[in-house]
Each structure stands twice: as structure tokens, then as C-alpha cells.
Amino acid sequence: MLDSLQPLVFGMLALIIFISAAFITFSRNLIYSAFALLGSFTGVAGLFAMLGADFLAVVQLLVYIGGIMVLYLFAVLMTSGIGDVRLTNRSIAVKIALPLALVLFFSLGKLIFETEWFAQQTVKIAPTTAAIGDLLLTKYLLPFELVSVLLLSTLIGSVALARQELRNSKENHD
């Protein structure tokens, strides 16, 4: 319904993503960088929504902002004196980084300009949730199960690590 406005919306989202990404990279304050992730993640969720991937858009918000970003914030805020560190991203080997960045830039640029893009004329907006669920439990069952096993082992591992620390600190107190 908003076909003619799509370039405008895309431009706005791209601008949001770009500005917040630049802010994340160039900000001298780690806290600001962490908070700027919000703009970047929301922008990507907006892009997903624009492409008709409604489920992915919401999950992007839920997982990246609700989970990952808040975890970052936790780590950043728990570190004492984090606001005093003003040295981030200042002197990380420019001699190596610059050529690498240039190579990446030109190869990506070459890729973008040489690829034949097929412009999809009409994006069919349809609910995707049911289809994703079906595929996860039929075609991609094995990867799905593998990921869940991985997550479970991570969970158990972190619990084991946390318990060990608890036991050690108790022994020290005694």
C-alpha cells in the first residue's frame, strides 16, 4: 500500500542504521556506543519489516534489543570506571587496518556493481510465522536440534562456571 513511499522509508531506515553504526564505531564513550546499538538494531528490524519478514522483524527486536543489547549494557555498566575510558578505537594499528578496510571496500563495491540485481516488482506481504515453524520442524530439523543442543550445553556450562565461583568464594570465607 505504501509502494511509492518505499524509497523514502528505506532511506530513513538506512540513515538511522548508518548514523548509529557510525556512532558506535567513533564514539569515545563505551556507554554511548552500547546505547547507539539500539538505533542500529531497530533500523535492521525496520528493514526486515519492509521486506515482509514480519516474524524476523519482531524477533530481531526481542532478541537483539531485549537480550543481547541489555546483556552488553549489563557488562558495560558493571565494569567500574567504564565512563572514564576515552581511548576506545583510537590507535588500533592504522597501518594494517587501513589497507584491509580499503580492500574490503573495493571488493564489496565491485561485487555490488557487477552483480545482476533482479528487482522484485511486487513484494507479497504474507504471514511468515507458520511457514518458518513448518520448515524448522521438517526440512531444517537437524540444524534446529543441533542449535538447541549447543544452547543447552552453553547453559549448563555457564551454570557450572558460576557454581564453581560460588564454591570457591565460600571456601575463602571459611
Partner 1 sequence: MENFAIHIHESYLYGLPLSVVNLIVMFGAAFVVLLGFVAPFAGLLSFIERRIAARIQCRIGPNRVGPQGLLQFLADGVKSLFKEDLIPKVADKPLFIIAPYLVFLGMFTSFVVLPFSSQWIVADLNVGILYLFATAAITVVGLVMAGWGSGSKWSMLGGMRSAAQIISYEIPTGLAALTAILLAGSLSLQEIIAAQGPHPWQWYFFDNPFTFIAFFILFVALVAEGNRAPFDLPEAETELVSGYNTEYSGMRFLFFFFAEWAHLYVLGAILTTLFLGGWQVPESLLASVGAESIAARILELVFFQLKIYVLVFLVVQLRWTVPRVRMDQMMDMCWKYLVPIGFFCVAGVAIWMMLFPDGVSFVKYLLIAFSSAMVLYYFYKVYRNFKDSRAELELNPFV
- Catalog residues that contact partner 1 under the rule CB under 8 A: 1-5, 31-32, 35, 38, 54-55, 57-59, 61-62, 65-67, 69-70, 73-74, 77-78, 83, 127-129
CB of 74 to partner 1, least distance (A): 7
Residue with smaller CB distance to partner 1, 88 or 107: 88
Residue with smaller CB distance to partner 1, 83 or 99: 83
Residue with smaller CB distance to partner 1, 98 or 151: 151
CB of 4 to partner 1, least distance (A): 4
> 138, exposed or middle or buried, with CB in 10 Å at 0-12, 13-18, 19+?
exposed
CB of 132 to partner 1, least distance (A): 11
CA torsion, points 64, 67, 73, 75, in degrees to nearest 10? -120
Q: Is 140 strand, coil or helix?
A: coil
CB of 128 to partner 1, least distance (A): 8
Handedness of CA 115, 116, 122, 125 (dihedral sign): negative
User: In angstroms, rounded to a whole number, what is the distance separating the alpha carbons of residues 36 and 30?
Assistant: 10
Residue with smaller CB distance to partner 1, 100 or 151: 151
Handedness of CA 38, 56, 18, 12 (dihedral sign): negative
